Amino acid sequence: MYTQALDIPQQNTEAKGPRTIENPAYQAEFDAKIDAGGYIEAKDWMPESYRKTLVRQISQHAHSEIVGMLPEGNWITRAPTLKRKAILLAKVQDEGGHGLYLYAAAETLGVSRDELLDALHSGRAKYSSIFNYPTLTWADIGVVGWLVDGAAIMNQIPLCKCSYGPYARAMVRICKEESFHQRQGYDLLLTMMKGTQEQRDMVQDAVNRWWWPSIMMFGPHDKDSTHSAQSARWGIKRISNDDLRQKFVDATVEQAKVLGVTMPDPELKWNEARGHYDFGAIDWDEFWNVVNGHGQGNVDRLAARVKAWDDGAWVREAALEYARKHDARDSQAA
């Protein structure tokens, strides 16, 4: 699962952690390394704004992974076969693992997982809006794998070569698993499309609901994307939102034909001159409404995360208290 790093007008991007001393010599060294396509590592000097941008992007991505466990987790107990139940459970577990790698990558930038989670729980941090849409039928599980993970892969492959080493390395592992998830989702849908008319209708309905939100996952148009130029300069963003979106549409439309579903866009058609599919206008009001908390699932998703965290407080305290007692006993014994 994935988020595009998103600039939210009212978002507090102030992150705690080490403060960077600005230094022209270090800056020149950093710039040279970026220009040469090298990796910046955790111990290297980096400009404060680079660090902040990464903390924001990596933590949004991590939050998206763990919030993304909820819409798919919604179907684990109702999966139609044991094989599909095992596949889905393993997939959602992978998303949790991605969250772990990413929180660990963010921690190399001087923030703690607890601080980042606190930002999520208090609503200061964002996660990918796609997870605020509901999973209404079993076909949604296939479509989320195919379209949502498919969009994620388009976004993430360039990140495997992003300039920050710990993030790039986490993304290599994540991309391998995501591409597996996408194929599993597509396989689920192929099986349903070979089934009854009721099953095929279920798939088409899910495609109708997820298509537009999926292509919104690439974020605002390039002309409206305020931080993109700086991120490109830093090697954090290698391909623009619109280019990625076009690549996704071109690949997915062909897959839809094989599957036998149609996208809910009457303007979607091949443009011979451009060598790409043209598609209709994206409803950005819808996008910003969901980003700003007014989607169907925003309240429930965040509440579920907060509840899990609050309900687990006594467990985390018990583990710490047990460790403290044993440290004390061990030092007494020594």
136 part of the interface to other proteins, by CB under 8 A:
no
Cβ 60 to other proteins shortest distance, Å: 16
The nearer residue to other proteins, 52 or 305, going by C-beta atoms, is 305
**Residue 258 Cα distances to 178, 179, 319, angstroms:** 21, 18, 52
Nearest distance from C-beta of residue 23 to other proteins, angstroms: 37
Confirm or reject binding of residue 83 to other proteins (CB under 8 A).
Answer: yes
Q: Is residue 133 close enough to count as binding other proteins by CB under 8 A?
A: no
Q: How far apart are CA 99 and CA 321, in angstroms?
A: 26
Q: Which residue lies nearer to other proteins by CB, 70 or 168? A: 70
Toward other proteins, which CB reaches closer, 67 or 261?
67
Is residue 332 a contact residue for other proteins (CB under 8 A)?
A: no
Cβ–Cβ < 8 Å for 206, 140: yes
Q: Residue from 21, 36, 82, 281 that binds other proteins (CB under 8 A)?
A: 82
Three-state secondary structure string covering 76-133? HHHCCCHHHHHHHHHHHHHHHHHHHHHHHHHHCCCCCHHHHHHHHHCCCCCCCHHHHC
Residue 73 near other proteins by CB under 8 A? yes
Q: Does 17 bind other proteins (CB under 8 A)?
A: no
Residues 146 and 168 sit within 8 Å (Cβ to Cβ): no
What tokens appear for 259 in the block? 């599957």
317 binds other proteins (CB under 8 A): yes
Least distance from other proteins to the Cβ atom of residue 175, Å: 19
Q: Compute the least distance from the CB of residue 210 to other proteins, in Å.
A: 19
Residues of the shown chain interacting with other proteins in the complex, contacts defined by CB under 8 A? 66, 69-70, 73, 76-86, 89-90, 92-93, 96-97, 99-100, 103, 138, 188, 191-192, 194-196, 198-199, 304, 307-309, 311-319, 321-322, 325
